Structure 1
Amino acid sequence: MTAFDLTIRGGTVATDQSVFRADIGIIGERIAAVEPALPAGLRDLDASGRLVLPGGIDTHCHVEQRSGMGMMGADDWYSASVSAAFGGTTMIVPFAAQHRGTSLRQAAHDYAALAAAKSVIDYSYHLIVSETDPTTLHEDLVELIRSGITSFKVYMTYDALKIDDAQLLDVFALATRERALVMVHAENNDVIRWVSQRLLERGHTAPKFHGTSHVALAEAEATHRVIRLSTLFDAPILIVHVSASDALATIEAARRIGTQVYGETCPHYLLLTADAMDQPGMEGAKYCCSPPLRDAAAQEALWRALKDGVLQVVSSDHAPYRFDRSGKLPYGDETTFKQMANGMPGLEARLPLLFSEGVVKGRLTLPEFVALSSTNHARMYGIHPRKGNLSAGADADIAIWNPDRQVTLTAHALHDRTGYTPYEGTRVTGWPDTVVSAGRVIVEHGVLDAAPGSGRFIPRTAPLPFTTSRQPSEQARFYRSLALGQQAGGGDFGAAYGNAI
């Protein structure tokens, strides 16, 4: 009989499809067996009364990254990965950001070195593309995609990062050819700038006006526009951090007619409302993110969208800016809503919040929780079945979850370096007792046992939208070839458009 290095016995296993009683046997870094009854391994973990879940995967977090405004986040790869591990997350995928005038290739190289030296859990990273010059688009980006970085993010807002519609078309054409997923921050920059200018002229500078300036219409319009632009090439896109009801309705309508659009939301949009920004002094700045918090009606719409499959993933969008002049408040109490760093921490609290508010309160089933927090991330970004999966051959990334454990969230108890949490005092039900990463028990009894740099880079294959048998339309094929400088394809449509130009 095979001798296991580690066994997890007596627990209830939950996947994105089912919940069942089983033991898990691990050899080295991989799961070797999932069966009703296994013998004890060299090390044996008793999971009686516990849930045995795939480790969480957070595919939208900002780690050791400088914002477009020049603010450095509080967490480096070590502190962020430690915080993730304590919350049951065993893989993170943050962003290597290209800032204007810099090399995308160099940004990725430097970022990879930081991760390799510090992360205690497995990782990959996306790219942030802010330039579309020939070197960036046709050399650096192509090389990085082919090396296993198969997703990248673009912005429709923030003057220091945004690209225009013509640049978006260039990006979509290349992404479809190279089989990469484009993540889009969808907000109309001109609407936000116009409203912000009028607010500031009238002396409305308090944090609460951040929400006013990032009006829901800006998110809805940009979401509609980018979806329509993507259909020129039949390009798959993922709209990140969806917050507004109208934007959500646009995604739902587009999906109903077969458009390849996917969506993500975050715990803060599910649990917090815009009222949190309206507090004395600068306290409201702790709750300012982009897009901003909305209202209770938007929350309910987002929960329904998770249940109905309109949104596929829940990420933290962890943006850990300290509440001082180095982060949120560069000008102290004189900082206007337009000058402060946007974002809030949430990496460690993501899974407990989603479990407590989703599963415990009956909004989500346990398999839906697993899908939204782990398995769908793995599928979406090209790392399934290696990740997000509890079956023989998968990486042994596992959270042994105590469904009854109650924890009060406080900045002091969490492991990031932000110094505050927007969920201060919130009581959650459900927390991981033990976390296993690639066969290593890295968190047990509240103690970390993992060295900096012990996490592994995980190269990714083609994302979910490119693994189907779907073929692009003749229109999409023609415009892809046109965008990439190739000969227009044959057929009546291609010939007609070729003659027209």
Structure 2
Amino acid sequence: MQVTASEVLPEGLEIGVKDGKISCIGISLPSSASTKIVDAEGAYITPGGVDSHVHLAQKNAPTGDGWETGSRSAVAGGTTTIIAFASQQREDTSLYPVLKDYHAKAKNQSYCDYGFHFILTNPTQNILDQELPVLAKEEGITSVKLYMTYEAMKLNDREILHILFTCKALGMTTMIHAESHDMISLIIEGLERNKHTEPYFHAVARPRIAEDEASYRAISLAELADAPMLIVHMSSEVAVQHVRDAQTRLLPIHAETCPHYLFLLSEKIKGEPHDHFSGAKHVCSPPLRHDPKDLEGLWQSIANGTFTTFSSDHAPSKYDAVGGKRLGLMDGIPRFSKIPNGLPGVETRMPLLFSQTPACLPVEKARLSLPRFVQLTATNPAKLYGLDGMKGSIAPGYDADLVVWHSAGRGARTITQNLLHHDIDYTPFEGIHVGNWPRYTIIRGNIVWDQGEGVVGEMQYGQYLKRGRGQVLTGKTGGVARGMLEGERKYWL
């Protein structure tokens, strides 16, 4: 049965594919001796996953996945499109060399289709006025990510405002990592002064209130600029409530969360009894939260529509490797502030969420519907990042990117490291049972993952995607910020 963002279509419908595109959907479609037929055997078919938050081959993660291994892992888990980050360094005064370098890393190295976001850390006037308009039009890079924390990457509020105005004019999507840098820095200094430096204290150093405050501030900046914004990897129920309140006022504020914030708690960062430093495997930012109520709050926001996208934030470093997570073990002394942030998850993202739908659970226990699964994992990110009409849906004219799941009662597995295809030496989801796993992953009509045979696609098959303007999926622009008069912006813009 085919699943779209709005409905589950009747059983028995066939999908016709020609030249990599979906040509038609119907019953008893014509075929010939040369027609390749894939029998779904009554299983669900969903659009290929669009993972819009993936870190590959980044300089700050020398032991992380490159394009070959990261994209291989993606297709094995049902993701057919990834959007990764070309990261500007503070000293970079132009984005063109950044883009050239990142294109070189990805070219002929990807099993799946891909696009880029820019991470902006030095948003000069020339970059905003001259480079971004050209790069959006000619290269199809129509999204940027900003940081409110990390010394090497954080921007101040005024810089963020300038970028919001620029991106709004260009139809670009602005993503933001919202945590209060000053709160976190003060707490880290106190923890280190008091010799509380084991991995678990990473979660103590970045309390929920740091995300709550920064999320509210980010929304306020977007409201002043009358600009759309996506707050990435949200982990706090209170911060998500800020988004919900903004959406209720029809502000164009989007929200993203990730698997680790739905399935894991900070207890994991304490590590094994015989090796407390092993908790470093679960260090990410924002951190895993302490209270199961936070998980429940996020699940409610998954179901009620507050979250726009569900991404992996695949940003791993190996655990037992020079330059990996063990950077936080200095002369035998743990230093949580030196542990590279990030977790692997591009392969497990789709199965983890699919397992919470009625395809795998009784209806009364399911946390989200099948159409909602499709919205979060494929349709919404495709629309938000300028891929609508190409990716994220099962409809004529779209790329034939599909996931064929196993039929009822088959396909269940327990996630273990030895079953995964990334180049990382652990998975934070070790031992979690999922009710299904992709049987086939299909990109542009070609099977690239067959669970019986493994990855069967070619590394060079993935194509770079020139993206269009992103859509506003929640709220609308053109509003008046609270307390301002109609037309007040014209006096200072």
TM exceeding 0.5:
yes
Q: Which residue in 2 is equivalent to 1:55?
A: 48
Q: Which residue in 2 is equivalent to 1:16?
A: 5
Displacement of 1:473 after TM fit? 4.5
Would the alpha carbon gap of residues 494 and 84 (structure 1) be closer, same or farther in structure 2, given more than 3 Å must change? closer
Q: 1:354 and 2:353 equivalent?
A: yes
Q: Which residue in 2 is equivalent to 1:5?
A: none
Whether contact under 8 Å (1:383, 1:461) holds in the other structure is yes
Q: 1:386 aligns with which of 385, 390, 396?
A: 390
C-alpha distance in 1 between matches for 2:477 and 2:379: 25
What is the one-letter code of the residue matched to 1:85?
Answer: V
Q: 1:435 and 2:430 equivalent?
A: no
Q: 1:134 and 2:125 equivalent?
A: yes
Higher relative contact order (CA 8 A, sep 6+): 2
Whether contact under 8 Å (2:45, 2:404) holds in the other structure is yes
Q: 2:251 aligns with which of 253, 259, 267?
A: 259
Q: 1:81 and 2:71 equivalent?
A: yes
Q: 1:325 aligns with which of 322, 325, 343?
A: 322
Whether contact under 8 Å (1:475, 1:494) holds in the other structure is no
Q: Counterparts in 2 of 1:66-465, with a 5 A limit?
A: 66-67=59-60, 71-102=61-92, 103-147=94-138, 148-279=140-271, 280-294=275-289, 295-323=291-319, 324-332=321-329, 333-359=332-358, 360-361=360-361, 362-402=366-406, 404-444=410-450, 445-465=452-472
Displacement of 1:358 after TM fit? 4.2
C-alpha distance in 2 between matches for 1:307 and 1:494: 36
What is the one-letter code of the residue matched to 2:467?
Answer: R
C-alpha distance in 1 between matches for 2:110 and 2:53: 16
- For residues 201-237 of structure 1, the C-alpha deviation after alignment (integer angstroms, 9 at most, x for no partner) is 0000001000000010100000000110111120100
SS, match of residue 346 in structure 1 = coil
Would the alpha carbon gap of residues 475 and 374 (structure 1) be closer, same or farther in structure 2, given more than 3 Å must change? closer
SS, match of residue 46 in structure 2 = strand
- For residues 282-336 of structure 1, the C-alpha deviation after alignment (integer angstroms, 9 at most, x for no partner) is 1111111000111211111111111111111110001120003321111534341
C-alpha distance in 1 between matches for 2:326 and 2:300: 35
Whether contact under 8 Å (2:252, 2:474) holds in the other structure is no
C-alpha distance in 2 between matches for 1:494 and 1:223: 23
Whether contact under 8 Å (1:66, 1:73) holds in the other structure is no
Would the alpha carbon gap of residues 225 and 471 (structure 1) be closer, same or farther in structure 2, given more than 3 Å must change? closer
Displacement of 1:146 after TM fit? 2.1
Displacement of 1:91 after TM fit? 0.4
Would the alpha carbon gap of residues 14 and 466 (structure 1) be closer, same or farther in structure 2, given more than 3 Å must change? closer
Whether contact under 8 Å (2:112, 2:462) holds in the other structure is yes
Displacement of 1:472 after TM fit? 2.2
Aligned-residue CA RMSD (Å): 2.1
C-alpha distance in 2 between matches for 1:269 and 1:117: 33
C-alpha distance in 2 between matches for 1:331 and 1:443: 36
- For residues 75-105 of structure 1, the C-alpha deviation after alignment (integer angstroms, 9 at most, x for no partner) is 1111111100010110000101001102322
C-alpha distance in 2 between matches for 1:64 and 1:356: 30
C-alpha distance in 2 between matches for 1:278 and 1:356: 27
- For residues 414-471 of structure 1, the C-alpha deviation after alignment (integer angstroms, 9 at most, x for no partner) is 0000110001122211111111101111112232222222111111111111899x55
C-alpha distance in 1 between matches for 2:243 and 2:382: 21
Q: Which residue in 2 is equivalent to 1:486?
A: none
C-alpha distance in 1 between matches for 2:435 and 2:477: 45
Displacement of 1:276 after TM fit? 0.7
SS, match of residue 421 in structure 2 = coil
Would the alpha carbon gap of residues 394 and 217 (structure 1) be closer, same or farther in structure 2, given more than 3 Å must change? same
C-alpha distance in 2 between matches for 1:27 and 1:236: 37
Whether contact under 8 Å (1:433, 1:446) holds in the other structure is no
Matched residues, number: 471
SS, match of residue 6 in structure 2 = coil
Moved more, 393-402 or 435-444: 435-444
Whether contact under 8 Å (1:320, 1:417) holds in the other structure is no
Whether contact under 8 Å (1:325, 1:331) holds in the other structure is no
Percent identity for Structure 1 against Structure 2: 35
Q: What TM-score do you get using the length of structure 1 for normalisation?
A: 0.90
